[in-house]
A and B are shown apart, each in its own frame.
Chain A
């Protein structure tokens, strides 16, 4: 490391602070650092690591070991062999970090480095300093989005965001008692990565290792956590958890992201669980940049580490501490002073489902590239943001092909959440004289098909 290079420590927590909970077992910061040092010592000397650990603690030890070796962690919550091959094509010199996991249908590649932390309680490892400009992780937006690609996260940007979040969500208490974070989002998704991997390194939180997918698991982990508790989740999972009627312990806050949260759901959760429901606004490209308490209204408040600047009439860009370039937002926004903004809705090409984004133009291009499809269009239902069961639909002109064949062809190229729930074959699409598909004409087609069905 060059002398004078600005750095920040891997963690700013005290050696005795609880940083993780694996079931009922607390893991202190010192023991975590010992696990990191042990894994770092046996990592291969390669520039990129693909972290595929299912256990959240294993995922954090992997990330920290990779960063302390000056390598870059590639974040993918998609563990399929297809996605692995895609990433390996772009990063041929990567190696894989994996744990055994609980899913028998998933097999780690045979040459993966197995992650199985085993430092004893009371162990203390070194706390390395990491250059702020060092790229620590790369997040991916899926191939079907309008802005496909890899988004490097310098260490300084991750630390600044964690410190800003710690401040915003009031996580650093004078009594030194940590807040347990139970999350239903995977540690390799940018939102889960920030809130459960980076946050415990630089704010007084302890992440719970999981798994927490089904409502009963989330409720049990929260009940078992001592002291302060925060639930990090998504609107869909919040709705499922509320609907399951699981009794909840006292919560400091419920944090939601990945999709717009309906005010009515936020109100119902606040009433049922007696805790504030806070929403985070962010994206893989820029990380979390703002938050609001949903029931208080539409105004979002930026993190201390972020500024917004209007670039063109349509596009606003975020200047994020630690990121080299401003990042254009995927949504249209109205600025309100220096610290606040309102969302005016997504820019029309982007559709969001299950925490993933896709570009309709790109989806339509894939559809029209299928053999035998003469014309076709993806249609977004009006209730997409409100109805968890809502999915895209497809209208296609393909006289020689079946709806099933078109769906099968799409499945080869499109993330499952963006697959159309229905493919309807039509004789023609209502294109106007310049070849465009006006929204009203599509709506009329939809009504017509519904009426004749």
Chain B
């Protein structure tokens, strides 16, 4: 597993907290898929993550934003998307 960048560690902690995951945040591989094979999240989880992101970073996720499938493809992609759009 490749190592987490600072923002990735922060987003990993946010995901673990929002979804009450039993995985520890530093165990999330930044390049593994969040849904399906990787963490095995589902579409309800996507909504919970979106809510946590809007509270922490002050912006809203959208379906037509770039490519949603890509944003949620991995912790790395999601974190990069947050870096680009965060308001605080």
Q: Give residues in A with beta carbon < 8 Å to B.
A: 102-106, 211-217, 236-237, 240, 243-244, 246, 353-354, 388-390, 407, 411, 416-417, 419, 421-422
Q: Which of B21, B43, B50, B51 has the most chain A CB within a 10 Å cutoff? A: B51
List A contacts of B64 (CB < 8 A).
102, 211, 217
Instruction: Indicate which residue in A214, A217, A243, A419 contacts B40 across the interface (CB closer than 8 Å).
Output: A419
Measured CB to CB, the closest approach of chain B to A441, in angstroms, equals: 22
Contact sample, A vs B, 25 pairs, CB 8 Å cutoff: A104-B67, A104-B69, A211-B63, A211-B64, A212-B63, A214-B61, A214-B63, A215-B50, A215-B54, A216-B61, A217-B63, A236-B44, A237-B47, A240-B50, A240-B51, A243-B51, A243-B55, A246-B60, A389-B18, A389-B48, A411-B37, A416-B41, A421-B20, A421-B21, A422-B22
What separation, in Å, do the CA atoms of A217 and B18 have in the docked complex?
21
Besides the contacts A354-B44, A416-B40, what 14 more A-B pairs have beta carbons closer than 8 Å? A104-B67, A104-B69, A106-B69, A213-B47, A213-B63, A214-B61, A214-B62, A215-B60, A216-B61, A240-B50, A354-B43, A407-B40, A411-B36, A416-B41
Instruction: Indicate which residue in A213, A215, A416 contacts B36 across the interface (CB closer than 8 Å).
Output: A416
What separation, in Å, do the CA atoms of A246 and B55 have in the docked complex?
12
List B contacts of A102 (CB < 8 A).
63-64, 68
Smallest CB-CB A-B distances: 5 pairs: A216-B60, A105-B69, A211-B63, A416-B42, A389-B20
Interface residues of B in 16-41 (CB under 8 A from A): 18-22, 35-37, 40-41
Which residue of chain A lies nearest to B17 when distances are taken between CB atoms in the complex?
Answer: A389
List B contacts of A421 (CB < 8 A).
20-22
What separation, in Å, do the CA atoms of A334 and B43 have in the docked complex?
34
Measured CB to CB, the closest approach of chain A to B68, in angstroms, equals: 7
Which residue of chain B lies nearest to A381 when distances are taken between CB atoms in the complex?
Answer: B20
List B contacts of A103 (CB < 8 A).
67-69
Instruction: Indicate which residue in A213, A240, A416, A417 contacts B48 across the interface (CB closer than 8 Å).
Output: A240
Measured CB to CB, the closest approach of chain A to B23, in angstroms, equals: 9
Which residue of chain A lies nearest to B42 when distances are taken between CB atoms in the complex?
Answer: A416
Which residue of chain B lies nearest to A216 when distances are taken between CB atoms in the complex?
Answer: B60
The answer to whether A388 and B48 touch (CB under 8 A), given A102-B64, A211-B63, A215-B54, is yes
List A contacts of B55 (CB < 8 A).
243
What separation, in Å, do the CA atoms of A400 and B41 have in the docked complex?
26
Measured CB to CB, the closest approach of chain A to B38, in angstroms, equals: 11
List B contacts of A388 (CB < 8 A).
44, 48
List B contacts of A215 (CB < 8 A).
50-51, 54, 60
Whether A216 and B51, one on each chain, are in contact in the complex, defined by CB atoms closer than 8 angstroms, is: no
List A contacts of B68 (CB < 8 A).
102-103
Which residue of chain B lies nearest to A234 when distances are taken between CB atoms in the complex?
Answer: B44
List A contacts of B62 (CB < 8 A).
214, 216-217
What separation, in Å, do the CA atoms of A213 and B60 have in the docked complex?
11
What separation, in Å, do the CA atoms of A102 and B61 have in the docked complex?
15
List A contacts of B63 (CB < 8 A).
102, 211-214, 217
Measured CB to CB, the closest approach of chain A to B41, in angstroms, equals: 8
What separation, in Å, do the CA atoms of A105 and B35 have in the docked complex?
13
Whether B60 and A244, one on each chain, are in contact in the complex, defined by CB atoms closer than 8 angstroms, is: yes
Which residue of chain A lies nearest to B61 when distances are taken between CB atoms in the complex?
Answer: A214
What separation, in Å, do the CA atoms of A421 and B16 have in the docked complex?
12
Measured CB to CB, the closest approach of chain A to B42, in angstroms, equals: 4
Which residue of chain A lies nearest to B43 when distances are taken between CB atoms in the complex?
Answer: A354
What separation, in Å, do the CA atoms of A411 and B46 have in the docked complex?
18
What separation, in Å, do the CA atoms of A216 and B40 have in the docked complex?
25
Which residue of chain A lies nearest to B46 when distances are taken between CB atoms in the complex?
Answer: A213
Measured CB to CB, the closest approach of chain A to B19, in angstroms, equals: 5
List B contacts of A213 (CB < 8 A).
46-47, 63
